[in-house]
Chain A
């Protein structure tokens, strides 16, 4: 009967979809020439959109004209698809020579012996002396260098000053506390009818910020959680109060507007987030947006740090590590490249590129914001443990269910710790 046949083919296709690779080709990579960058063809993958692809192509063309014996074959996907592809390619022993890397995946790949130690190229084909102070050593794990930052950003507070004025509150000043922040949101919501912000428990970078202000970390050096159940419960409880008081953006709304952000659509008075997103929000929002200091209960300790927004890594299996290192070096040092990208990759990683990039409007504001913070930045935390990406997703999911009222604070905390145990324990 047709149905049965159809069933079989349907069932097998589901299974077939899953069975990705036959066997993981593992082990050390065969490195070709490690010092001389002879003629080579490099595969280079990154995540991004068409706009970034255009800029990237310009930079690659420039690189090829300066290094005629190296050819670069580019490919790109958007973020999620990119990591699916990277995983399968790496498992199949077919990873690109140079790949864009995210901080939260760095250990995932380096722990699995998939990345080349760029220390071997430092000073030869790779120049790192000009990196911004806060980004130096950001791609290092246990003494080896697995990624070079191509941009940096920091967690900040973006807000709409007009709504602060309308509610009759002073704009945030350095030293305002988390209580001030919650008060401000409440008063703005009451006076203007616009939610004072997004619920900050939706992102675990806000927890990280609070933890760093208290002198601890989100993840410890040895890859464990840097907080206990009681601390997470406190964090969730505060956020739950905000949701119940209806002074933050309702989660129903937040879910529907994805992938847009509430600031982009003028739905909130302000929000904590990555400072370089300012450019994106400014493009969409009608309101004039500003960057302000993050709240802290520990005067003098803001908890912010310069985070590598993205890095470049070289595959352990690359046959042309020298040429690959040259490309990486070019991408972070060449002033022309800095000019081409502007702040597309986050703010440029080296002094030379930052000087060359002509930043205007909101981007100039971001640059000024980071400059002003330069001396207050804390130490960049160690690369998050393997599985951090999974945990970040779990955090988002659990905080969402909490805001929907589907689970209570205690259950939310338990769920996250169960997930963490499973993810970090193995």
Chain B
């Protein structure tokens, strides 16, 4: 965003220095101001609603602040304390595990559905809408409540599993299954990445498949050697988005596990713990520090993903000045 604020400013200068000569029209004194005025709704928004709170939370992260009394400067104490805070470590573990499970499962499911929906078939439009549907409502409180009920004992899922001899005693109350329940909820909302995969699949040139078929390549082979490399940029895009989203899961987890991450802290996501520290215990300084650590963590993961991308992401038209 900082780049964006600077750009108009600099271009205005370039504009004026180029035209210092006796040209048609001299720069009016109000020109720059008018520009800023046009930008003002956005600037005010970013400064007051985003930048201001961000800087405040950065400051608060170095303080002991309980909402009632003035913040007290404590230096790096909040950050240091995290590493000896068992619940913080637990929340990191839970979140990392969730990201590692939910993202690949969701992407694989989205890709599989996209492949199915890619061909020409009657009623394809209906199926696409049907698969997209859950992601419109999936983040809501209502769905999370229904989900929890579905996975409780005496419920559909548990009774079905019982008929094949698997007794979990209800996923919602079983620490070994509770996280999986949320992973499935995420995977169920595969609409957004699915649509993007579909768009990617449409871009793959037909003739590649035809050529491969002539050479006797089977379905799997065609998928491995043509489809995947050709849509690798789309895969990367989805991977990035879903990873970042997965780090921020909150609503469904809060509904299922509450502020304590029930059962037995297995759904204590980072965001839940952060919220609980801030708004449950009124430790805003600590919560702010946690938010900045999350930003740092997500940032590092993103950088890491971009690094690896060089090795496996292929952009069609990759010959000119692409990075």
Q: Which residues of A contact B (CB under 8 A)?
A: 2-3, 6-8, 10-12, 14-24, 26, 80, 83-84, 87-88, 90-91, 108-109, 112-114, 250-256, 258, 387, 389-390, 393, 396-397, 400-401, 404, 406, 415, 423, 426
Contacts and interface: CB of A to CB of B under 8 A. Distances in A.
Interface stretch (B20-28, B46-54, B183-191): B46-54
Interface of B: 1, 49-50, 52-54, 56-57, 60, 64-71, 86, 148, 152-153, 169-170, 172-175, 237, 240-241, 244-245, 248, 258-260, 262-265, 271, 274, 278-282, 284, 287-288, 291-292, 294-295, 298-299, 302
A255 B241 contact: no
Contacts of B1: 8
22 contacts: A3-B240, A10-B244, A11-B244, A14-B291, A15-B53, A16-B50, A16-B53, A22-B56, A23-B71, A83-B279, A87-B282, A252-B170, A252-B174, A253-B173, A255-B172, A256-B173, A258-B262, A400-B262, A401-B265, A404-B175, A404-B263, A406-B264
A426 B282 CA distance: 13
A15 B264 contact: no
Nearest to A11: B295
Given A401-B265, A406-B264, A252 B169 contact: yes
Given A252-B169, A252-B263, A256-B170, A14 B52 contact: no
A113 B169 CA distance: 48
Contacts of B248: 10, 14
A18 B292 CA distance: 10
A251 B260 contact: no
A256 B152 contact: yes
Nearest to B240: A3
A19 B240 contact: no
A256 B311 CA distance: 46
A15 B284 CA distance: 12
Given A19-B53, A252-B173, A397-B260, 11 more contacts: A3-B237, A14-B271, A15-B53, A18-B274, A18-B284, A83-B279, A84-B279, A87-B282, A112-B68, A252-B263, A426-B64
Contacts of A21: 67
A400 to B, nearest CB: 6
Nearest to A89: B67
Contacts of B294: 14
Contact of A255 (B65, B67, B173, B287): B173
A26 to B, nearest CB: 6
